[in-house]
């Protein structure tokens, strides 16, 4: 199973999350992208074996851009990591029909746990 990780502007946190995923969810392939434009191009192609996209959002403006791309997320699970705990930011994030929401100030272990559960359920279905 593949996961796409978007981590523009938060490179250190993105690398830390990728390391956590590799350690806690063996066998999970992670493709990391640091550009919204590149991510947009990737999402417009067939997503072979990509089951999850993790959006590590740096700002509310970036979240607005993802909401414009919302139709591209229709057939994929979205894990959203928000930049703050503001109610307006959360409300905007929930418009993406996310499977899970976390925050950048968390330890990110919860994201790896959710990915592990998704991987387990995906294997059960096959």
Domain span at 40: 2-125
Tens of pLDDT, residue by residue over 25-72, are: 888 889 999 999 999 998 888 877 788 999 999 999 999 999 999 998
Tens of pLDDT, residue by residue over 49-58, are: 788 999 999 9
Give how many domains the chain has, as a whole number. 1
Q: What is the CATH number of the domain that holds 34?
A: 3.40.50.2300
- The b/e string for 12-39 (b: 16+ C-beta within 10 A; e otherwise) is ebbeebbebbeeebeebebebbeebeeb
Q: Is 78 helix (H, G, I), strand (E, B) or coil?
A: strand
pTM above 0.75, yes or no: yes
Helix axes 60-68, 36-43, angle to 10 degrees: 20
């Amino acid at each position: 199973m593949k996961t796409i990780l978007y981590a523009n502007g938060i490179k250190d946190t993105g690398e830390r999350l990728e390391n956590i995923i590799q350690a806690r969810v063996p066998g999970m392939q992670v493709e990391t992208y640091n550009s919204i434009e590149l991510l947009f191009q990737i999402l417009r192609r067939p997503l072979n074996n990509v089951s999850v996209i993790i959006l590590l959002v740096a700002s509310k403006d970036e979240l607005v851009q993802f909401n414009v791309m919302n139709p591209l997320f229709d057939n994929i699970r979205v894990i959203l990591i928000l930049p703050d705990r503001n109610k307006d930011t959360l409300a905007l994030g929930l418009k993406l029909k996310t499977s899970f929401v976390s925050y950048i100030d968390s330890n990110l272990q919860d994201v790896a746990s959710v990915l592990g559960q998704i991987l387990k359920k995906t294997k059960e279905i096959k």
